[in-house]
A and B are shown apart, each in its own frame.
Chain A
Amino acid sequence: MDYYETEEDSALVSSDFKTAVEGVVGGNVYQHSRVKQWNSSVIEQCLSQLNKLGKPFKYIVNCIIMQKTGAGLQTACACFWDNSTDGCCAVKWENESMHCIVNVFGMAI
């Protein structure tokens, strides 16, 4: 059975995701017309990076892009899984006009 993420893996994977988000959304101002496309690109890049790891895992990637207006957002997750083999990772990114939160869950097959 594979362990989902050691500490180094988790850090590596988070930095990969941050790069992916930065590449897609970095330097842009929030635009409602483009946000759907940004979301898809971020998720696609994250999933393909996870796929390249070549581990026997199922992945779920969840991405939220929210405009900055001072509104609050709370997120929580509850899981029923095998704690020794499964794990999750949350990556947060922001610029002056928006927040981007990527949640990744990995479950061993």
Chain B
Amino acid sequence: MSDLRKEKLQKKDKRIVKLAVEGSHGARGKDTTFRTKDSISTVSCIDELHHDDNARIGVAIENTYQMGPDKRFSVAALTDILQDVLTSYLQEERYEVEWSQKMTKTICEVIRARVKDLLIPRYKIIILVHIGQLNGQSMQMDSRCLWDTSNDTSVSYSFKNRYLYGVATVYAIYVE
């Protein structure tokens, strides 16, 4: 119960800070000399890999006339990554609150780095990781998407040992 509360607070923090960043982006549009380093450093303490420190000036990019992706994500490669990461991080581990808080974030970042290493262009990537304690409870996890089925894909992998379970999901969305 208290674990979930902590998780809720954490998630709430993330959301509030994110909105602050968006606000600062709006300010930047009006006055390009506005220094937003403070707000960026706030975000970075929640999400350390966020480095959006270049000014968002409206750049006119030439149209590529590209109708679809050159290279798609291979489901097998993504499954391998998820399986590899989850097994290596969670094998023989017990569920503990602080440890699992750090571990979910770490696993998220590791999976994101490995998926980015596949170097498939024009794709946005979302990774969701859940680590839960095995306590005889029942649960159901579902996901549904409103997207382009020919270009977008998702892969999920779940891992279980005697004390905990871990579920990781990757969504890859094509950017037109």
A residues with a Cβ closer than 8 A to B are 3, 6-7, 10, 30, 32, 35-36, 38-40, 43-44, 47, 50-51, 58-84, 86-90, 92, 94, 99, 103, 105, 107, 109
Contact = CB atoms under 8 A, between A and B. Distances in A.
Nearest to A7: B19
A80 B21 contact: no
A86 B173 CA distance: 12
A72 B145 contact: no
Interface string B94-137: 01010011011101110110011000000011111111111111
Contacts of B128: 62, 75-77, 103
Interface residues of B, number: 62
A66 B139 contact: yes
A99 B5 CA distance: 11
Contact of A40 (B129, B135, B136, B142): B142
B151 to A, nearest CB: 10
B11 interface: yes
B82 to A, nearest CB: 13
8 contacts: A43-B142, A62-B128, A63-B141, A68-B1, A70-B1, A76-B105, A81-B125, A84-B22
B140 interface: yes
B72 interface: no
Contacts of A89: 15
Contact of B129 (A63, A75, A109): A75
B148 A67 contact: no
Contacts of A109: 175-176
B124 A30 contact: no
B4 A80 contact: no
B109 A74 contact: no
A66 B4 CA distance: 11
Given A64-B130, A70-B135, A72-B4, A77 B108 contact: yes
A44 B132 contact: no
B146 interface: yes
Contacts of A65: 139-140
